[in-house]
Amino acid sequence: MATLGLWVTGLLVVIVCLLILLYLYSTWNFGVFKKMGIKGPKPRIFFGNHMTIAKKGFTEADMEWWREYGDVFGYFSGPTPMLVVADTGMLQEILVKQFNNFTDRASPRGISGIMEENLSLQKGAVWKSSRSILTPTFTSGKLRKMDPLINEAADALIAHIKKNTNESNEVNFAWLFGCYTLDVIASTAFGIKIDSQRDPNDIFVRMAAKVLAVKLSSPYLTLAFIFPALMKPFSKLFDISVLDPEASDFFKQQTEKIINSRETIQQEYADFVQLMMEAHNDNPEDNGSRRGLTSKEIISNSVLFFFAGYETTSATLSFFTYFLALHQDVQQKLYEEIVTELGEEEPGYNNVGKLQYMDMCLKEAMRLYPASSRTDRTCVRDTEVNGLKIPKDMQIAIPIWVLHHSDKLWEDPEKFDPERFSPENQAKMNPYQYMPFGFGPRICIGKRLAITEMKVAIIKLLKEFVVLKCNKTKIPPKMLSSGLNKPEDMWMKVELRN
């Protein structure tokens, strides 16, 4: 009995010690913002403020905190302090003037395996080397070669609308644009021809849906936020990730298959896998620098291009169409510009830039519904920014949604008004109040491709149809719970033009 009592006592001591250690682990950093003189929401033990984000999403949480604490505030993602900066003067320092002190993105949460070595997550000199290698992949000449691939997918989009509209002519553009951007990214990134509108059961389509089905409230992702230092080695040890393993393996194998086949077949391709293969080099130079991408980086970046170019573009197209349906005067003016400037020309990289009003409309749609609510940076050395001393390793959250909806920066910010982006008004604008693709040296590398892809789709759509709201149109759109800003659906009515 005495032995049992000692055993129970010992177990209780161990449990108490573990609880104390967990408490210290989760709270040891909670005083950092007070020392910096920064306000913010009170964190909870273990979770910090993560559960607020898991429940409300970045958009709502950031707006609530910004209204209460101002342009600069701090919160805790588990035990990790996050400095949120919506001050345009500080953003100029962080994103451009002192970029060398903020070169890195925040460490990935719950991401392991094929995604670890892509451009978005690379740091320091490795990122700089990869960026310099990949930048020529997105030159004007390379993007022009992708025009036929984009137009082919856009033609399939229009044909599908014509063939499959029901008697009420109601269309779910969220689904349709998802199919369109999937077809484009499959061809431009992987060189694979699919028609997801005609065959929604295609394995590429099914794996795309699985790999992107990640929610902020995911238990695994929550653990990754609460225990970032522990979850990363745990993920590596057991090869687990917040991404669906079957889908991750599919894209890895698909890329490897493409690479292996092209090493033996002499044929010209215009997709990103081919362009990265031309810059392939698994062996570093003698001085430690690299002049090419490793095989793992090619695979990782191929999957990154898929992620970055699929749902972000389709969601933006959905919101753009939504605003055109609600503002018929804008839609008519845009249609007239398309007819006047392009006539019967096939749209593409070379001529979509002529459509000034389209550019204004697209920018305003991306202001109101940026694809991502945030971007981020990590402070790589102790730095002072406009009088605020930011310690090394501090993670900086840049709340894009807040910047785009701030009544300090925009007059009547919730109103859709393309005239905000007229050449005259844009010349007066603070460049750091608008960043749908990020800003500075780490701006989205595929920005020009995404803009071309979206403009081509809208041009072909408006040349054939008038888009109208219908009984199923949700005003405002109902959003899905995810890290991106995506509508649950986007039902509109279409009418053939005379």
Tens digits of residue pLDDT in 453-469:
999 999 999 999 999 99
Give which of 211, 497, 208, 485 is closest to 371, Cα–Cα.
485
Give domain status of residue 9, yes or no: no
- Specify the pLDDT at position 241: 56
Q: Is residue 398 part of a domain?
A: yes
Whole-angstrom CA distances from 465 to 88, 161, 493, 498 are 40, 10, 10, 9
Number of domains in the chain: 1
Write 422-425 long-range contacts (CB < 8 A, 24+). 422/360, 423/356
The answer as to whether 38 is a domain residue is yes
Residue 145 belongs to a domain: yes
Q: Which residue has the higher pLDDT, 493 or 282?
A: 493
Whether 213 is in a domain gets the answer yes
Q: What CATH number did the domain enclosing 279 receive?
A: 1.10.630.10
| Residue 15 lies inside a defined structural domain of this protein | no
pLDDT tens for 23-51 read: 666 666 888 999 999 999 999 887 889 88
Tokens of 236: 């590596």
Contact 449, 305 (CB under 8 A): no
Least confident of 104-118, 282-296, 385-399: 282-296
Looking at residue 286, its pLDDT comes to 47
- 122-131, 212-221, 427-436, range with the lowest pLDDT: 212-221
Is residue 18 situated within a structural domain? no
Mean predicted lDDT score pLDDT of the chain? 85
* pLDDT(237) > 70: no
Percent of the chain clearing pLDDT 90 (strictly above): 53
Domain membership flag for residue 14: no
Q: For the segment 355-403, what is each residue's pLDDT rounded down to a tens digit? A: 999 999 999 999 999 999 999 999 999 999 999 999 999 999 999 999 9
Q: What is the pLDDT of residue 450?
A: 94
> Do the beta carbons of residue 217 and residue 38 sit within 8 Å?
no
The pTM assigned to this predicted structure is 0.88
pLDDT band at 238 (very low <50, low <70, confident <90, very high): very low
In the chain, the amino acid numbered 116 is E
Is pLDDT of 309 > 90?
A: no
Q: Is the pLDDT of residue 176 over 80?
A: yes
Confidence of residue 290 (pLDDT cuts 50, 70, 90): low
Query: In this predicted structure, what is the pLDDT of residue 359?
Result: 98
**Residue 255 above 90 pLDDT?**
no
What average pLDDT does this structure show over 492-498? Answer: 91
Parent domain of 417: 29-496
